[in-house]
């Protein structure tokens, strides 16, 4: 993807994107990968007059993104929309018989497709889809794989269908964790990135920028 003059890049998602942003300040990027990514790009492309926005909200599932799409995405007139969502869709049903069920996956795909369809129809934005991830520490996170892997497959399919850029995260983070330490990237829950984890996510995002 090539960034162009006056692009507005919107980061849209859950707590991983939110990263402690001050929601009272519309331009606050939080303390995670959106801030790291914006800092690097603005340093590299000072003449492009880029705007970066963060509309991540902790705890969100894909249905929540769909519900607030008008206010937190479309009305902002972004020219690039980057979406990272899906881990809460798994986490919130971890002890339910719905975990990994076909019915849940059908709804997930339907909601995600509606989000992308509206972005395509109601904005001129190019779309970046980031895959959700989980690391196997603590060990019970391994029980999430059957559910999350299906969601990752759906997101990959949607990326192709909507001609979106795709950022692979689950494999690279797990590979790094195997070599070094899972806790080094996601602390004690296998999901929320440390500074190093956010740095690796930013690095993977930046790889798609020409």
List the catalytic residue out of 26, 44, 92, 189.
Answer: 189
- If you average pLDDT over residues 35-59, what whole number do you get? 98
b/e map 163-181, b = 16+ CB within 10 Å:
ebbbbebbebbbebbeeee
Give the rounded distance of the alpha carbon of 72 from its chain centre. Answer: 15
Active site (annotated) includes residue 47 = no
List the catalytic residue out of 7, 60, 82, 192.
Answer: 192
Active site (annotated) includes residue 64 = no
Active site (annotated) includes residue 18 = no
Residue 19 has pLDDT above 90, yes or no: yes
Residue 210 has pLDDT above 90, yes or no: no
Place of tokens 């795709």: 166
Domains of the chain listed by start with CATH number: 8-206 (3.40.50.1110)
Per-residue CA distances from 182 to 31, 78, 92, 190 (Å):
20, 34, 22, 7
**In terms of Cα–Cα distance, which of 115, 100, 96 is closest to 148?**
100
pLDDT tens-digit map of 82-123: 999 999 999 999 999 999 999 999 999 999 999 999 999 999
**Contact residues for 111 (Cβ-Cβ < 8 A; gap 6+):** 62, 63, 65, 66
């Amino acid at each position: 993807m090539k960034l162009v003059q006056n692009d507005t890049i919107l980061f849209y998602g859950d707590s991983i994107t939110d990263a402690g942003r001050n929601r009272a300040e519309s331009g606050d990027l939080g303390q995670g990968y959106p801030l790291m990514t914006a800092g690097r790009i603005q340093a590299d492309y000072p003449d492009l007059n880029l705007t970066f926005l963060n509309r991540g909200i902790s705890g969100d599932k894909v249905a929540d993104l769909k519900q607030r799409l008008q206010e937190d995405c479309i009305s902002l007139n972004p020219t690039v929309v980057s979406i990272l969502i899906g881990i809460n869709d798994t986490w919130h049903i971890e002890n339910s018989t719905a975990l990994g069920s076909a019915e849940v996956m059908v709804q997930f795909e339907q909601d995600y497709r509606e989000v992308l369809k509206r972005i395509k129809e109601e904005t001129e934005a190019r779309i970046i889809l980031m895959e959700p991830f989980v690391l196997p520490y603590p060990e019970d996170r391994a029980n999430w794989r059957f559910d999350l892997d299906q969601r990752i497959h759906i997101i990959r399919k949607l990326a192709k269908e909507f001609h979106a850029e795709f950022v692979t995260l689950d494999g690279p983070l797990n590979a790094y964790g195997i070599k070094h330490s899972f806790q080094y990237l996601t602390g004690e829950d296998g999901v929320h990135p440390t500074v190093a984890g956010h740095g690796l996510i930013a690095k993977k995002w930046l790889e798609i920028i020409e």
